[in-house]
Chains A and B, each alone.
Chain A
Amino acid sequence: MSVEDLLFAKTHEWVRVSEADGGKLATLGISAFAVEALTDLVFLELPEVGRQVSAGDSFGEIESVKAVSDIYSPVSGEVVEVNDELPNKLELFNDDPYGAGWIAKIRMTDEADLAALLSPADYEKLCAEEAM
């Protein structure tokens, strides 16, 4: 899967949008930069399937070396699927952050949410500024 197909939130979540059942389906995860910056991920809490989220809502939590952080949904919609395997295989975040390390899939209700997200190039610039 190509990173070029993704959009990114400033809070380091990624989104891949596909067509499904006549609507838009967003697959979400956290970026490779975030995985590296957080270091040593130890716990993940997934959202519940069926939950309605708005763009910017916390929809999951992750612990890394004693720091608990929220994971924010970059889009609005209904959580239709979660990666149940992930909490017990956190190494997938490192091994395949944009593939097997996906967190949840959301049936989008507002495509306008995508306009607020960053292209891969713009996200790379954001990460470069943070690394300075």
Chain B
Amino acid sequence: MPTPTASHESKPAASPLLAATECRYLVDPPLAGERNMAVDETLLDAANAQGTATLRFYQWREPTLSLGYFQTYDERHEHLASRDCAVVRRTTGGGAIVHDRELTYSFAAPLANQSRLNHSDLVSIFHYAASEALALQGASAGPLCCDETPAAEANAAFLCFQRRERGDVVSRTATPGDHAPGDPPSLPDGEVPPHRQPKLLGSAQRRRQGAILQHGSLLLAQSAAAPELPGLRETSGREIDVPRLIEDWSRILAARLGLRLVAATLGDDEMATAEQLATTKFASSAWLRRR
């Protein structure tokens, strides 16, 4: 974990985005999907009600398909490879994600400007920080620029990682492959255009009054439940050292966001709230099949 700032050091400058300078830091063991989503919602509530910021890293107890908030449940039947996966609905938008050989982060924080609407810059900070942390392990990845993003693909595909939006982190490793119809004729042999380079990290947000929840998924390796999606192992040829990645990513984020990270666990009240939310909301058919 990142080394907490020593008490004699000056406090970090407050982020212009956030109404917090201190941030709880959690690395959780793998949990079931409904519990992971319940913890994230509990963190959002804590950010909104108490002004508490939390950065959390976690994985999933079993391969789990998470649906974006507005996706219909029936869409999952069209993706055969994940049909045996557990399924949960997120509170955040975007496409479905197969959480298997991946790392998920969540970040909940009070906002400095509560009437500000667009917080895509928070996504950028997380994605650039991830790219830098991955580079420290020799994996080349970076956010898509606007001119690399074909608008027609946005929001069309069922899976988040088959969508392309500005800021999504894609592999920058030259990917062998045949040219496809429509590829620029000037493209060197053995390369594909950026919009078809595999997406490795995507994030989504939920606003609640004066707070924001952002979570995202980093593909570590290809999953049998989503074989169409290569991960970092396939694109970079490397096994990512996950604890080291979490440490580097967190350290870079803390500096960018002006946050002092403090290792923590959920309080008893929060644990109880999360347990209740997991049971009454995220595991319920009413929530899962609300669309």
A residues whose Cβ falls under 8 Å from a Cβ of B: 10-12, 34, 37-40, 42-43, 45, 61, 63-70, 126, 130
> What 1/0 mask marks residues of chain B from 84 to 105 whose CB sits below 8 Å from any chain A CB?
0000000111100000000000
6 A-B pairs with least C-beta separation: A66-B94, A43-B70, A67-B205, A37-B117, A66-B204, A63-B93
A-B Cβ contacts below 8 A, count: 67
Whether A65 contacts B117 by the Cβ 8 Å rule is no
Residues of B within 8 A of A12 (CB): 115, 117
Contact: B207 with A70, CB < 8 Å? yes
- In the complex, A42 Cα to B154 Cα: how many Å? 10
Using CB atoms and an 8 Å cutoff, list the residues of chain B in contact with chain A.
68-70, 91-94, 113-120, 154-155, 165, 202-209
What's the nearest-Cβ distance from chain A to residue B211, in Å? 11
Residue contact B92 to A65, C-beta cutoff 8 Å: no
A67–B113 contact, CB under 8 A? no
Which listed residue (A10, A37, A63) contacts B69, Cβ 8 A?
A63
Q: When chains A and B are docked, how far (Å) is the Cα of A12 from the Cα of B114?
A: 11
Hey, which chain A residues are within 8 Å of B155, CB to CB? Answer: 42
A40 to B68, CA, bound (A): 16
Q: Smallest CB-CB separation from A65: which chain B residue?
A: B165
Asked whether B165 lies within 8 Å of A11 as measured between CB atoms, the reply is no
Which of chain A's residues has its CB closest to B290's CB? Answer: A45
B residues within 8 A CB of A45? Answer: 70
Given contacts A42-B70, A43-B93, contact A67 B207 (CB under 8 A): yes
Measured CB to CB, the closest approach of chain B to A67, in angstroms, equals: 4
